[in-house]
Structure 1
Amino acid sequence: MAESEAAAEDLDVLIDDLDYLPGHFHLELQLNFEPRSPALLRARDLKLQRDGLRHELELAAAPQRPAVRHLLGTFAFYLEELDEAREHFLAVAREDPSNLNAWANLVHVYGRLGQEGEEEACAGRLARLMGLAEDGEEAAGDPQLHAARCLAEQGYAHGFDVGCASPEERERVLAAGIALYDKALGYGQQIPKEEKRGWYFTMATLFIRLDGILLELGSEEQKRLPAFNRTLALLRQVVKSSDLHHRALAWCYLGMLLERKDTFSTTPMGVHDCGYSGTDPLDCFGKAIEIAKDQPPILNRLAKIFHFLGKQDMAIGTCNMALDVLRDPELNRQAYCTRAKIHIRAYLHDLERAKMGLGGMPDRSHLACAKADLEEVVKVCPGLKTYLDIGQVYYYMGVDAVQELLAVDEAALNQALVFLAKAGESELGATLPELQLLRGKCLRIKGEEANAAACFKRAVELDDAGSSHTEGFGCLLEALLAQWSQAQLSDGELGREVDAWLRRAQRKYPAARLRQELQRVWRCNTGEVLGLARALVTQGRPALVRLLFETMEREGEGASTPRGRRAFSF
């Protein structure tokens, strides 16, 4: 017993003396902490992130693939798919026997599997690579290179964390990832130039996301400035890369940064230091497109970025270029799906403006274009995402283009429900709150208030804590009020339902966002709300009545915040 305790103490001292520790399971990622959300929702988030990583693996340059595989293995481990996790780490070890993270992660997996022999063998291999073997055997290869790549792979993982509940947490995780890359650069003096440019690209991506969070939090520009200038310097190196993917996206990111320079009171000095004085962001976007003109995967990535930036015409044009090169929807479904998403967003933008009296009727040709693109895809490679997107299109084709209150095409609504049922057949689809919300909205238009309310309840249950997507809760309140006004619920049943679900919403959604959603419901259903208040007073629930009226009195607060409409295309 004393010997084992002494050995454990020696190990602790050894670990404390190390400048770095290989492996992914000790990193301070939310992924490695005790889950905050129920197991079902955590598994959903892991699978969604894993799907995105699999797409990254298709685009990743050879030096970056081990970093992606390590993350795929880590996600598989937390999904209890231990054999798959082991295979991912073994694949990295076979391709690069000196990869420290592969052996450290295998130690963790074999420990969970209870395979002590393999666990000890991997631990011994790791110790020899790090020059820590008891027999004094020297490390194989260059320990500095091993350490540099180990740290860079760990830094990459910080861009794909799961479970961060606030911008501040995401800021911390991204900053930690950048710090690991900085440490890797300190060890990596002998890293090939092209591989190092790949690191610069990922660092720039983390910096851009970090700057977006700081903008969201309203941070002082002096806090943003050093990182902003450094990102420009990193991208200046990446645009020299021989990797077309990195070079094209680097020019795109430069365009983004040059547009953001106007968020500073004075042009950041990095713009002048890097030689971008007077450079037009549109020229940067044009260079990105020119580099990618014969590469549909890169064009599709650029189109998604332009869509995110609100440059819809540019995004549509880029999708069209990708389709000119490769028209087959089975091989280039991303171009069809992105173009459909752009049309859906354009329609929703116009619909929201029409609801507020700021514009005319939305152009329903957007829906026809989105439908045509998605039908091309669903014929050859149907899947959850496509079913959800085309279900959304059919829903909007079936309801009025003014307030979403009247059915104008019953067949379209039924078709929407058919596609949503297909989406819900998958294990992942059954856990998506946006799917339940859309089903509920279809059923509400068809007059099935009780079924709609059940869907909206499920949507609220599936929402993450801290989510700003309060639309499902607002729709639930409206469905309950409609049931009550049609005598499908008694005063007592309505009071109990509203009380229970309002308390749940208070625990789940940010207070300002919840207040905004309640204000919308009250404005659109004033008569029913007053009737509800009288019923609650009769039931002896004055505290709930007080909360409702306090909400209405605060209508001026947060009025400029946009409503939390959920993006159905995840």
Structure 2
Amino acid sequence: MNYLDKHVINKQEKTMKEGNTEEDIESLIDGMAYIPGHFHLDLNLNHEPSGPGELRRRDTQLKVDSLGAELEAEVGYLQYGVRNLLGLLAFHLDQLEQAEETFMSICKEDPGNLNAWANLGYVYDRLQRELDAGECVEKLSQLMGLEAGQAGQAESRLSAARCLAEQAYAHPYDIELDREEDRRERLTASLTLYNRALDYGGELAIKLAADDVFILNQLAKVFYLLGKHEMSTGICNMALNVLPDPELNWQAYCTRAKINVMAYVRDLERAKQGQGGLPDRHSLTEAKADLEKVLSVRPCLRTHLEMGQVYYYMGVDALQESLLVDEGALNRALVSLSQALQCDPGDSLPDLHLLRGRCLLLKGEEQNAADCFKRALDLERPGSRDTMALRCLLEALLGLFTQSGSDPGPSLTQLEVWVRRAQERYPEDAVQAELRSLCRAHTGEVTELSRALISRGRLELVRRLLKTVQPNQPARKRPLAKSMSI
């Protein structure tokens, strides 16, 4: 039961007739058209972790960092939506004092904020401060017009609209949204709440957003997440026409750069599959220009990582990523990634280590590259089907074996150990699919590897490799390359 329900029900029970208590309680709950606060929302944040706790803390901290940057750009009423969400994240990082301080500060600055009062009451309830929690419920009842029967009045409806809009804002910032369908589900929930907010607010809440940079940037982000990249770019351009200063409007530059990088990666994958021509490298040039503007005023983990990705693609062949065409660009990619690693929590991002390893592999540093891929594999969420780290690691370790000469022992051991580690991290069919792809792409090297293993009586890996080349094994479609953006 939601804490708010509990306190309201306790209050109502004092005035209910004994014979009708159960029926009246059900009517009370059914009669609440909306519930203020963030802790009852159907977010992964509010449920038990689906994976290791340290991964959840990493993802939550990344959301805190991102929202902290968003907050600096907003000083109007929309800031309270950001701050309520920051309080929720602080609570789930076990920073209860920070959460209490955040919600209390909103209540002081914006006394009519329903979510802040509900959230503060939840924190008090968790701290077993029943009197303080009860006072928050009393305040909510007054603000919602429940006691005086004023819930339908204009002021109460506008408060409800703001409450629902703030809850809608929170959904896309949920954690553990690894699957595309999960992200779309959150966006759908967010849009539903925004529509409900408009129903409550009516003409009181509808404003033209053509000159509101914050709203334009939020719209651009939503359309980006929905895959409507052209529309998102157009809205970014509108926001930059209103406010071109990167120090005040860095979000628009970031979103536009991210779209350009994603467009390049998408076209690259299509070209590899014979479905289109070479990707337009002008997209990389435009992304680099936007990211340079952001880095001049706000160097951060996300921007360093995205710049590293841009330089990586500038440094490799436009069709065959295994061919180095600009070593200077690749070196600049490594510099950007090193700067990203110095930002907290950069070292815990698998995409960062994966991209760094790919750069090192191109420079002929197979062992250093392999160490990066190992780190990336270890950081993947258990059960993940994104096997890019395993794919790169297998190719790097196979390269080390071919260079090992008369002493292949260490490279053989690494291969055996990390195939077993991969079985603990990924589904079995995903591991088999990557081994099968390795055999098909490097038949000669894998044959020599098998001979070396057999000559030493190390047959476990050989059996796995032989199993992959048996006939009638369906090929698993590899996922397309992804943008390394966070």
TM-score by length of 2: 0.76
Q: Distance in 2 between matches of 1:386 and 1:168?
A: 26
Q: Distance in 2 between matches of 1:173 and 1:314?
A: 20
**1:124 equivalent in alignment to 2:41:** no
Q: Distance in 1 between matches of 2:385 and 2:281?
A: 28
Q: Distance in 2 between matches of 1:357 and 1:97?
A: 60
The answer for the alignment partner of 1:3 in structure 2 is none
The answer for the alignment partner of 1:472 in structure 2 is 389
Alignment of 1:99-248 (within 5 A): 101-110=115-124, 119-129=129-139, 139=147, 142=150, 152=164, 157-163=170-176, 191-194=200-203, 242-245=206-209
Q: Distance in 2 between matches of 1:311 and 1:24?
A: 28
Q: Distance in 2 between matches of 1:333 and 1:377?
A: 6
**1:332 equivalent in alignment to 2:332:** no
- CA 456–104 in structure 1, closer or farther in 2 if over 3 Å, else same: same
Could you say what secondary structure the match of 1:331 adopts? Answer: coil
Q: Distance in 2 between matches of 1:435 and 1:13?
A: 54
Deviation string for 1:34-63 (max 9, x for gaps)? 334334321221123334545776899977
Could you say what secondary structure the match of 2:206 adopts? Answer: coil
The answer for the alignment partner of 1:370 in structure 2 is 287
Deviation string for 1:159-196 (max 9, x for gaps)? 543235667877887898899999x89xx99x54246x
**1:93 equivalent in alignment to 2:107:** yes
- CA 332–22 in structure 1, closer or farther in 2 if over 3 Å, else same: closer
**Alpha-carbon deviation of 1:512?**
5.5
**1:444 equivalent in alignment to 2:408:** no
Contact kept in structure 1, 2:125 and 2:133, CA below 8 Å = no
**1:70 equivalent in alignment to 2:84:** yes
The answer for the alignment partner of 1:38 in structure 2 is 52
Q: Specify every segment of 5 or more residues in structure 1 that has no aligned partner in the other structure, as ranges.
A: 1-6, 133-137, 196-240, 246-291
The answer for the alignment partner of 1:392 in structure 2 is 309
Q: Distance in 2 between matches of 1:429 and 1:405?
A: 26
Matching residue's letter, 2:206 = S
**1:457 equivalent in alignment to 2:374:** yes
Q: Distance in 1 between matches of 2:179 and 2:437?
A: 25
Q: Distance in 2 between matches of 1:315 and 1:173?
A: 18
Could you say what secondary structure the match of 2:254 adopts? Answer: helix
Matching residue's letter, 1:128 = E
Q: Distance in 2 between matches of 1:48 and 1:70?
A: 16
Contact kept in structure 2, 1:129 and 1:140, CA below 8 Å = no
**1:84 equivalent in alignment to 2:84:** no
**Alpha-carbon deviation of 1:454?**
0.9
- CA 375–242 in structure 1, closer or farther in 2 if over 3 Å, else same: same
- CA 552–430 in structure 1, closer or farther in 2 if over 3 Å, else same: same
Matching residue's letter, 2:107 = A
- CA 61–514 in structure 1, closer or farther in 2 if over 3 Å, else same: farther
**1:534 equivalent in alignment to 2:470:** no
Matching residue's letter, 1:344 = V
The answer for the alignment partner of 1:481 in structure 2 is 398
**1:404 equivalent in alignment to 2:341:** no
**Alpha-carbon deviation of 1:362?**
3.8
Could you say what secondary structure the match of 1:411 adopts? Answer: helix
Contact kept in structure 1, 2:217 and 2:236, CA below 8 Å = yes
Could you say what secondary structure the match of 2:56 adopts? Answer: helix
Alignment of 1:541-556 (within 5 A): 542-553=459-470
Contact kept in structure 2, 1:103 and 1:125, CA below 8 Å = no
**1:566 equivalent in alignment to 2:485:** no
Matching residue's letter, 1:569 = S
Which sits farther off after the overlay, 340-349 or 548-557?
548-557
Contact kept in structure 1, 2:113 and 2:163, CA below 8 Å = no
Contact kept in structure 2, 1:477 and 1:521, CA below 8 Å = yes
**1:421 equivalent in alignment to 2:338:** yes
Matching residue's letter, 1:242 = I
- CA 445–532 in structure 1, closer or farther in 2 if over 3 Å, else same: same
Contact kept in structure 2, 1:516 and 1:563, CA below 8 Å = no
- CA 351–53 in structure 1, closer or farther in 2 if over 3 Å, else same: same
Deviation string for 1:46-92 (max 9, x for gaps)? 12333454577689997766554332211011223333311221133
- CA 347–554 in structure 1, closer or farther in 2 if over 3 Å, else same: farther
- CA 511–331 in structure 1, closer or farther in 2 if over 3 Å, else same: farther
- Number of paired residues? 457
Could you say what secondary structure the match of 1:568 adopts? Answer: coil
Matching residue's letter, 1:87 = E
Q: Distance in 1 between matches of 2:137 and 2:229?
A: 53
Matching residue's letter, 2:342 = E
Contact kept in structure 2, 1:351 and 1:402, CA below 8 Å = yes
Q: Specify every segment of 5 or more residues in structure 2 that has no aligned partner in the other structure, as ranges.
A: 1-5, 14-20
The answer for the alignment partner of 1:349 in structure 2 is 266
Matching residue's letter, 1:467 = S
Could you say what secondary structure the match of 1:467 adopts? Answer: coil
Q: Distance in 2 between matches of 1:402 and 1:169?
A: 32
- CA 553–143 in structure 1, closer or farther in 2 if over 3 Å, else same: farther
- CA 105–346 in structure 1, closer or farther in 2 if over 3 Å, else same: closer
TM-score by length of 1: 0.66
**Alpha-carbon deviation of 1:310?**
5.8
Percent identity, please: 47
The answer for the alignment partner of 1:430 in structure 2 is 347
